[in-house]
Structure 1
Amino acid sequence: MTVVTFDGERARDLDRRHVFHSWSAQALVDPLPIASAEGATFTDHEGRRYLDFASQLVNVNIGYQHPKLVAAIQEQAATLCTVGPGFANDARSEAARLIAELAPGDLNRVFFTNGGAEATENALRMARLATGRHKVLAAYRSYHGATAGAITATGDPRRWANEPGVPGVVHYWGPYLYRSAFHATTPEEETERALQHLRDLIMVEGAGTVAAIILETVVGTNGVLVPPPGYLAGVRAICDEYGIVMIADEVMAGFGRAGEWFAVDHWGVTPDLITFAKGVNSGYVPLGGVIINDAIAVAFQRRAYPGGLTYSGHPLACASAVASIGIFREEGVIEHARALGTDVIGPELAKIAERHPSVGEVRGLGVFWAVELVRDRATREPLVPFNATGADAAPMAAFTAACRERGLWPFTHFNRTHVVPPCTIGERDLRDGLAILDEALTVADRYCTG
């Protein structure tokens, strides 16, 4: 057998020749080849080590190469590599039991998928079939995935090139006090006006036509927007009043990211459906799903549910989810993530904000934070325009480069940098990363005008 040895240049050359990259102009993309990873860091082929403040795509919650998780996948592979979704399997059954046990209220069944976008697709399908209605209300400043229905529900510019999309999706404004669509000045006003906006939209769309309201419990890529007090409870009340299915997209916010098993736990609200992926097994094997309450499950007791794929509930993925949940419990990952947010990230970002005129606001919880960058604190003008590209995006590109030069891999989107390292990151590494972020923000400060 011939063994092929890869170095960084060979990996990069073959990538450029043969890999078609997502969300990229193919002639412009030049991905960094990664040789290895461990814990909260990854290393390139030249031996340069990066502290990962992005958790890849905010999914490596448990960190890289956790030995117990790797061993669980190896053990399952030695026992049974694959089996179709029409069979029962111990790994799938146990993963479903554990996830249902963690979910709030009567969310007792799990429909497994291969990722978050597919989870969105099935949640929307379930809501429409269970209610007999066709419309879905989805927020602006949201992301729900890149498949047909999920990208239609998405409320950011990634939707534009995919339009026209699936019919029946109507977008609404969610709460975002720093840039309030409702001219609110307090969290209480923001909650009241955002909920009234939803009621008004339901009135003019026709309550009897609305199957579901889908929202990210804590908005992720579009700004780590933590809902103000009372908002989620208000959405729950509206859904109950009009017979609308409440779908909580916890693909990014779930499994420790927000300092709880599910972000909804912060507010004691139980949705009808929860979508999950990413942190359930940190992407070691593709896995996602929908957690379903009893009322919606009953709707499919005597009629077939028309959905599913060949690899749904794949045993390698489910075995990794079982192991991951065990690790979360044994190692206190939820408690660790919660404490990092309250004791380290929140206080340190507040200090950083005081030192840098480019910081307009910091917000978040758990290991899920955003730093919003501005040119002028008084006017709140963003450091770069909405959906900026090319020269317009230069200030954020310069900030990102400054982070990477210092060994920090940031997660940036529009005029924000997010602080989203693995939930297992040690306090020393976390403080080191925040210190690098502090240094790199001096680059952003140069663009401030007020």
Structure 2
Amino acid sequence: MNTTTESAVTEAELAAGRRAYELDREHVFHSWSAQKQIKPMTVIRAEGSHVWDGEGRKLLDFSSQLVNTNIGHQHPKVVAAIQEQAGKLCTIAPQYVNDARSEAARLVSELTPGNLDTVFFTNGGADAIEHAVRMARLHTGRYKVLSAYRSYHGGTALAVNVTGDPRRIPNDYGTAGTVHFHAPFLYRSQFHATTEQEECRRALDHLESIIQLEGPSAFAAVVLESIPGTAGIMVPPPGYLAGVRELTRRYGIMFIADEVMAGFGRSGKWFAVEHGGDVVPDLLTFAKGVNSGYVPLGGVAISDEIAATFADTAYPGGLTYSGHPLACAAAVATIGAMREEGMVENAARLGDAVFGPGLAEIAARHQSVGEVRGTGAFWAIELVKNRQTREPLAPYGGSSPEMNTLIAACKDRGLLPFANFNRLHVVPPLNVTGEEARTGLDIIDDVLGIADTFVTG
């Protein structure tokens, strides 16, 4: 089925979109792209769970953009809060107190687990990782950092080296002090495991072996996505996060939980680390969902122990826009709207009642689906050419004509997908309705009929 142009989209909007595209192609340098090989989609409008493209098509946003518009587009309460803050105080240097930052810090501290009661605000997730690692290094007096393959932690100099996916490789000169390990991923197990219990135990044994072989006294931190996002939404098996926490305590290593994508309700809990039980990291990084990306904002939630390191010793780091009033006002309004409207609960409910069972049914119908996995409003569909060999529909670290065909088919049917390598991710706003969620799954079900034609065995 093809979408039709909404009557509300005017010719003036379409003309403005065409002009924007022309200027983009003349002047804008796009991230992670070969500039002459891309044809970026123009967005002329967004509202709720939908965007309108440059042709005027209305698309159900099952990507939440970069999995950050957790409350959807143009939420009126957040837009109003930004407008009100702009009328009062647009910006102020970070050395001065401002009420938006103070209240945002209070709310974040209230939501984070344990004694993570001090917040350092950054501009986004990558610099949150940069500063969390810096804090861990200064606190411990150690340098090396452990992080997982199949992970993403940001595009800045250190964060991209902490990253474990192929985007690290062109930027990796072996000088960042990072050591990578295999986290659990049963579907493509590195440990020849056949059960979640085996995968968990062997992954923890592997991590401890790396620590011992590299020298425990060398490591400042383990950086771990509580649930890896861009890398494939591999929910850790029961006991894994608690096991990592125990290992870090045993060897005096700080545990940094990266909640940039998985945090603020995406997994059906405020923070994905809560799925691991009573696990409290030493540092927790966040961004994206804290204010739905309406104004750039990230941060580090800091334990009392690490905060005490800098009580009488200056922390050697800062940002011009740390705790920017417009960004923090958006965060205050976002957290308020999420609580008032029960968005985290809605994400959990949709995961249990719609996405989980719906994707299981889709997997049963389509030979191109190797596995579906996830929680809350955070799911991945692993697409394969052969279920027995698990050959992916696109190579690790790349795309394929088959995946490009599926992405185009989704858009033709009115769905804006999130795709990475051989996967489609189901990551809509947390306040998507049950009807919208089912509509999106119906479109995916239809499109996977095309994917089945690529199956070779």
TM-score (norm 1): 0.97
**Offset at 1:380?**
1.3
Corresponding residue to 1:394 among 385, 394, 401: 401
Alignment-derived partner of residue 64 in structure 1: 73
Corresponding residue to 1:265 among 265, 274, 277: 274
Equivalent-residue separation in structure 1 for 2:276 and 2:183 (angstroms): 17
Map 1:349-388 onto structure 2 (within 5 A). Answer: 349-388=359-398
Corresponding residue to 2:452 among 427, 445, 450: 445
- After the TM superposition, list the runs of 4 or more consecutive aligned residues in structure 1 that deviate by more than 3 angstroms: 3-6
Alignment-derived partner of residue 168 in structure 1: 177
Alignment-derived partner of residue 329 in structure 2: 319
Alignment-derived partner of residue 411 in structure 2: 404
**Contact 2:124–2:296 (CA<8 Å) still a contact in 1?**
yes
Corresponding residue to 2:125 among 116, 133, 149: 116
**Contact 2:41–2:54 (CA<8 Å) still a contact in 1?**
no
Partner SS state of residue 193, structure 1: helix
**Contact 1:63–1:423 (CA<8 Å) still a contact in 2?**
yes
Alignment-derived partner of residue 7 in structure 2: none
Equivalent-residue separation in structure 2 for 1:99 and 1:228 (angstroms): 27
Partner SS state of residue 384, structure 1: coil
Equivalent-residue separation in structure 2 for 1:73 and 1:378 (angstroms): 52
Q: In structure 1, what residue type is equivalent to 2:164?
A: G
**Offset at 1:375?**
1.0
Partner SS state of residue 408, structure 2: helix
**Contact 1:172–1:198 (CA<8 Å) still a contact in 2?**
yes
- The CA RMSD measured in Å over matched residues stands at 1.3
Equivalent-residue separation in structure 1 for 2:416 and 2:54 (angstroms): 16
**Offset at 1:167?**
2.3
- Corresponding position: 1:426 with 2:433: yes
- Corresponding position: 1:334 with 2:341: no
Q: Where does the alignment leave 5 or more consecutive residues of structure 1 unmatched? A: none
- CA separation of 1:4 and 1:408: change in aligned 2, threshold 3 A: closer
Q: In structure 2, what residue type is equivalent to 1:404?
A: K
Alignment-derived partner of residue 111 in structure 2: 102
Alignment-derived partner of residue 41 in structure 1: 50
Alignment-derived partner of residue 296 in structure 1: 306
Equivalent-residue separation in structure 1 for 2:382 and 2:225 (angstroms): 19
- CA separation of 1:385 and 1:4: change in aligned 2, threshold 3 A: closer
**Offset at 1:128?**
0.4
**Offset at 1:165?**
5.4
Q: In structure 1, what residue type is equivalent to 2:171?
A: N
Q: Deviations over 1:244-269 (max 9, x none)?
A: 00000000000010001101112221
Partner SS state of residue 117, structure 2: strand
Partner SS state of residue 361, structure 1: strand
- Corresponding position: 1:306 with 2:313: no
Equivalent-residue separation in structure 2 for 1:153 and 1:191 (angstroms): 22
Q: In structure 1, what residue type is equivalent to 2:340?
A: E
Q: Deviations over 1:387-425 (max 9, x none)?
A: 235xxx111111111111111111111111000011110
Map 1:84-233 onto structure 2 (within 5 A). Answer: 84-164=93-173, 166-233=175-242
Q: Where does the alignment leave 5 or more consecutive residues of structure 2 unmatched? A: 1-11
Equivalent-residue separation in structure 2 for 1:8 and 1:99 (angstroms): 37
Q: In structure 2, what residue type is equivalent to 1:430?
A: A
Q: In structure 2, what residue type is equivalent to 1:320?
A: A
Equivalent-residue separation in structure 1 for 2:51 and 2:186 (angstroms): 36
Alignment-derived partner of residue 416 in structure 1: 423
Deviates more, 1:263-272 or 1:429-438: 263-272
Equivalent-residue separation in structure 2 for 1:53 and 1:279 (angstroms): 15
Partner SS state of residue 126, structure 1: helix
Q: Deviations over 1:104-156 (max 9, x none)?
A: 00100000000000000000000000000000001000000000000000001
Equivalent-residue separation in structure 2 for 1:437 and 1:50 (angstroms): 13
- Aligned-pair identity (%): 62
Equivalent-residue separation in structure 2 for 1:320 and 1:165 (angstroms): 39
Equivalent-residue separation in structure 1 for 2:419 and 2:243 (angstroms): 31
Equivalent-residue separation in structure 2 for 1:375 and 1:19 (angstroms): 36
Q: In structure 2, what residue type is equivalent to 1:365?
A: T
Corresponding residue to 1:27 among 33, 36, 40: 36
Partner SS state of residue 85, structure 2: helix
- Corresponding position: 1:275 with 2:285: yes
- CA separation of 1:46 and 1:379: change in aligned 2, threshold 3 A: closer
